[in-house]
Amino acid sequence: MLTASLLLIPMLFIALILFMNEKQARMIALTGTLVNLAVNIVMIAQFKIQADAQFLVSEPWVKSLGISFDLGVDGISMMMLLLTNFLMPIIIISTFNREIKSIKGYLALLLLTQAAFVGVFVALDMFVFYIFWEMTLIPMYLISLYWGKENRIPVTYKFFLYTLAGSLVMLVGIIYVYIKSPDQNFSINTFYHAHEFLSQSEQHWVFLALFVGFAIKVPLFPVHGWLPDTHTEAPTQGTLLLAGIMLKMGIYGLIRWVLPVVPLGVLHYQNLVIFLSVCGIIYASCIAIVQKDLKRLIAFSSIGHLGLTVAGLFALNIQGAQGAVIQAVNHGITSIGLFFVVDIVYDRMHTRDLNKLGGIAHKSHNFAILFMIMLLGSVSLPATNGFVGEFLLFVGLYQYSAAFTAFAGLGIILGAVYMLRAYQKVMLGEATEATSHFKDVNWSEKLVLIPLAGIVFWIGVYPKYFLDIAEPALNKILSIYTQAQ
Amino acid sequence: MKFAEMIWLVPVLPLIGFLINGLGRKYISKSVAGFIGCASVFASFLLVVGMFFQYQSAEHHEAYVQTLFDWIKVGNLSIPVAFQVDALSLIMMLIVTGVGFLIHVYSVGYMHDDGGFQRFMAYLNLFIFFMLLLVSGANFPMLFIGWEGVGLCSYLLIGFWFQNQNFNAAAKKAFIVNRIGDLGFLLGMLLLFNHFGTLNFLELEKFAPFLKGDKTIMYITLLLFIGAIGKSAQIPLFVWLPDAMAGPTPVSALIHAATMVTAGVYLVVRSNFLFTASPETMMVIGTTGLLTALFAATIGIFQNDIKKILAYSTVSQLGYLFMALGIGAFTGSMFHLTTHAFFKALLFLGAGSVIHGMGGEQDIRKMGGLKKFMPVTYWVMLIATLAISGIFPFSGFFSKDEILAYAYQENKIFWVLAVLGSLMTSFYMFRMFFLTFHGTFRGTHDQEHHLHESPKVMTIPLMVLAFLSLAGGILNIPHVFGGHESLHHFLSPVYAKAAELPELHLPHSTELFLMFGVMSLIGVMIFLAYRYYVVKKNIPVEEGTELPVLQKVIYNKYYIDEIYDSSVVKTLISTSTFFFKSIENFLIDNFSVITGKVAIGAGKQLRKIQTGKIGTYVFVFVVSVVVILLVNFYS
């Protein structure tokens, strides 16, 4: 019941928003997301630390095709739900004190995206999962298209086509497993036994089909081409949804729907995936160093961080997998923080060009501190969330290959290079004519950044609370690999 | 009451100080901020002193570990937040809180007129917090939290005056160069975990008897040593330290002389059971240290910026510490680390007092004759300079000679070169001293008018440090002088698990002969400096004067920065630009454009099917139905 209400509450509030005037709409949307967060907190209070899914919902849907509306929450889903439902109120607050046209439609789409995200993270039927997966695309598409910047139209097409192409390839893989399955259904049980009815070569290509879909979403080098442009052209909240939650669907998909489904395919391509991921870290981090646009810089840094996440995950051990889950959350927290920092700068300066900024720290002390905290999380300084995630990923990856780890480790040096450069160019130095009037963060901006900063240190200092949630479920997913050893 | 059980409070108190000063920086006055900053560190110091005496008086000198909670626990990886109290952490904590406290007090005077005073005190407290974590953590990751944390504070404090982009660049450079070392440390830690399945010091020590001949240990220790090279500014990663002098002078004293830069030495001593198991690594450490000591000393001779001279002297002394570690003189290294913390902090703070009096001037060519204007500073600086030169009975004499004695016994080449280095040290230190305090004043009239002795809040810490620099040798008086080598006995439980360490067994006559032989040579160097700079009144040439080639190369620090710029930095930028322009913008972007064009083209072709004429649709419909029926019929 609780699971379903997470889906229904945003829908309900969408309806409410449409009846309100523009002023009330933001508060209503905020209330909706807060209610969802509250429900999520109730769930975490009742949550048992165990491997199997809880809060189950199972309704027959299309019986003839073996589709059942199965929902449930295990530790991995719980982490993603917490991320989604914690970030959504923050994303809504980020619209406060900002001029946004047709705000009602905008907020409704944000809530619709939330519902779709929740669906993705709780679906226990591959078909239902796929529906929600595609459903996230529609509001994102509209948000980018109607509220984006000048160059939005080609970029939004690019985004849409890239991800749609990935999804279609994925769908082919899904249908293949479905057809081959003995009892012809899409249930997670069937998929988790796919390795019993799929031959080795079938597993190889089904892996490729599923992997491409998820890899585009992550996004993994070299299929990341849509991300920097989409980030640059999307409105702030689009960026926040994208970086904060949507990209995590890729990581989540890999854990939930690839690793346990086609183990032989995973093992066959393990080396290639890790190789590409490590290439992506160095490649994207290097590119971030020579960016002039602050938002693009952070977009490329995302690609680097997520590359490490996938590399650690594909090491196929518990440290790597835990690292991937916690880093998915961390990246959501820190990248939202950083992108919102960009929003604050752009709101006042109407530019994101590093060479036109500087000296902001003189007057805006709180902003300087909050930006610094997000930066520290991003460069994974110990005692921030980023370190816990990256350390686990490194421990995991090291067990697979020391050489890959050493190359991946270059990312922590390059990360310091581009982030400190960005901070220096934006915040430090003499204030210019324009930046000397820079207004420090206001109350609603504080409401966005301070909770994020709190989580940065919470996960950094006491990650055990979060690590415990996901561990049994991850062990179960990895059992197919650990037993083989 | 057992003080050791309050170990967690030792780092937490400065953290609280940081939070109060940091969050309340707009609401609390400078004097309150200064008080909170100093008091929190002093309270920690008192706790550590209590622990020290209880440890001393206990029957069994066992390490006490306090575990607070699990930090990261995943699978077989288990990292608790835990503190370790033993001889090594105690002595480091005493230095950090003791010298740290004095520098805090000094800063209250030095930074008093700065608009960012509260922020400064907050950063200093944060630094002490991380430094204490570093030296009291009971496992490698805890050490690493402190390790990177002090790097952050170093970054924040070097760039404290962030209006100046040169300072910001220096801060960034320090952080990034340190990160290179940190990657080595991290990889070493990962290999360590992979090999032993734990990262806790006491659990790792249990493997000590089985380490001999284990090749992995060599890799682990070399990787960890890369970390030490970065943090302790050894060749080839020392380039950040001279630039770090951009920070306010108390920062240079605290972070870039007395405490943080010795973290590399601490790391090696802490994991002595690993390092001693790999003779290859020990050789690398010794050689790196020796080369750094000599290299930096030569640069020091030709510098004219008072803080730069001290910076190169620090690099050089750190080299000594590593050379000592390399030949197995662990106590000697720790001893010199301690006395160096006293006299180098004193030298920096004294230099700060000079800079304060000179209104920000740092060029010794523009000083001279300050003796009569700043008598207290003069005398404490004289003590510090004598101490670093190794003159009896100042503290540096004992600590340096212990290292030299070991070098003489273990490796004669090391000994000769180390003596050479210490001769250079005494020469450039006295060069600096004479140029600053003797002769006639060479600055502007304004500066002369302004010259004054620093306030009490600054000179009292100087005097305390001067006393320590004078008397610090008591810690470990060798048997030759009827002492008991107390520090050696105090620290010996720390190396209980190490592979064999050399014992000093030189005859007393040889030891005495070496000591005073070297000292008389040092005396000659001081005399030479005196003759050249005081009697003959030579002043280093003005900026821009053409220098002889060799001198020019050394004056420009062997062009190391330029070499790094044109090799590492340029390569990175051009690779990045290549990735961005040629691959990302050309290949990857065009890939999607081409895909898009194909899609549009396909759409254009497919559109032709949709003619809008009912007739065509009916025709296609009928044909399709027929085809389907036929297919079904025949299959």
Chain A closest CA to B353's CA: distance in Å?
27
Residue type, B163: Q
A416 with B176: Cβ contact below 8 A: yes
What the block records as the tokens of B391 is: 């003159």
Q: Which residues of B touch A406 (CB under 8 A)?
A: 183, 187
Q: What is the pLDDT of residue B635?
A: 65
A161 with B592: Cβ contact below 8 A: yes
Specify the higher pLDDT residue, A22 or B317.
B317
Pairing outcome for strands A54-62 and A67-73: antiparallel
Give the residue among B324, B573, B349, B235 at the shortest CA–CA distance from A288. B573
Residue partners of B570: CB distance under 8 A and separation at least 6: none
Q: Cβ(A176)–Cβ(A209) under 8 Å?
A: yes
Rounded Cα–Cα distance for residues B119 and A421 (Å): 22
Give the residue among A360, A353, A354 at the shortest CA–CA distance from A430. A360
Rounded Cα–Cα distance for residues B554 and B565 (Å): 18
Q: What is the pLDDT of residue B537?
A: 84
B162 with A391: Cβ contact below 8 A: no
Q: Is the peptide bond before A260 cis (omega within 30 degrees of 0)?
A: no
Rounded Cα–Cα distance for residues B14 and B27 (Å): 19
Average pLDDT of chain A is 93
Chain B closest CA to A382's CA: distance in Å?
5
Q: What is the pLDDT of residue A198?
A: 93
Q: Which residues of B touch A410 (CB under 8 A)?
A: 183
Rounded Cα–Cα distance for residues A85 and A30 (Å): 11
Can you give the C-alpha Rg of chain B in angstroms? 30
How many Cα atoms within 13 Å fall on the side-chain side of residue A155? 20
What the block records as the tokens of B354 is: 């000079």
Q: Cβ(B215)–Cβ(B145) under 8 Å?
A: no
Of residues A222, A319, A406, nearest to B74 (C-beta)? A319
A464 with B71: Cβ contact below 8 A: yes
Q: What is the pLDDT of residue B619?
A: 83
Of residues B152, B180, B191, nearest to A413 (C-beta)? B180
Rounded Cα–Cα distance for residues A95 and B470 (Å): 64
Judging by beta carbons within 10 Å of its beta carbon (0-12, 13-18, 19+), is residue A149 exposed, middle or buried? exposed
Terminal Cα-to-Cα distance of chain A (whole angstroms): 39
Residue type, A198: L
B74 with A222: Cβ contact below 8 A: no
Return the H-helix or E-strand segment holding B181. helix B165-196
CB contacts under 8 A, B 58-117 vs A, are 69-75, 77
CB contacts under 8 A, B 12-41 vs A, are 25-26
The three state secondary structure string of B81-149 is EEEEECHHHHHHHHHHHHHHHHHHHHHHHHCCCCCCHHHHHHHHHHHHHHHHHHHHECEHHHHHHHHHH
DSSP track, B297-348: HHHHHH--BHHHHHHHHHHHHHHHHHHHHHTT-HHHHHHHHHHHHHHHHHHH
User: Which neighbouring-strand residues pair with B67?
Assistant: B82
What the block records as the tokens of A275 is: 């190789």
**Phi and psi, residue B369, nearest 5°:** 65, 20
Decide if the complex's ipTM is over 0.90. yes
Among A259-268, A397-406, B202-211, the minimum mean pLDDT is found in B202-211
Residue B635 contacts A where some CB pair is shorter than 8 Å: no
Q: What is the pLDDT of residue B213?
A: 80
B339-370 pLDDT, tens per residue?
999 999 999 999 999 998 888 889 999 898 88
Mutate to test the interface with A, among B8, B19, B72, B580 (most CBs of A within 10 A): B72
Chain A closest CA to B619's CA: distance in Å?
31
SS3 B316: helix
SS3 B536: coil
Average pLDDT over residues A279-304: 94
Q: Which residues of A touch B116 (CB under 8 A)?
A: none
DSSP-derived secondary structure letter, B545? -
Q: How sure is the predictor about A432, in pLDDT bands with cuts at 50, 70 and 90?
A: confident
- The residue written with tokens 């069994």 in the block is B60
Give the residue among A2, A78, A48 at the shortest CA–CA distance from A466. A78
Mutate to test the interface with A, among B71, B74, B568 (most CBs of A within 10 A): B74
Q: What is the pLDDT of residue A485?
A: 57
Q: What is the pLDDT of residue A484?
A: 62
SS3 A102: coil
Those residues of chain B that have pLDDT short of 50 are none
A362 with B591: Cβ contact below 8 A: no
Q: What is the pLDDT of residue B615?
A: 80
Q: What is the pLDDT of residue B287?
A: 95
DSSP-derived secondary structure letter, A326? H
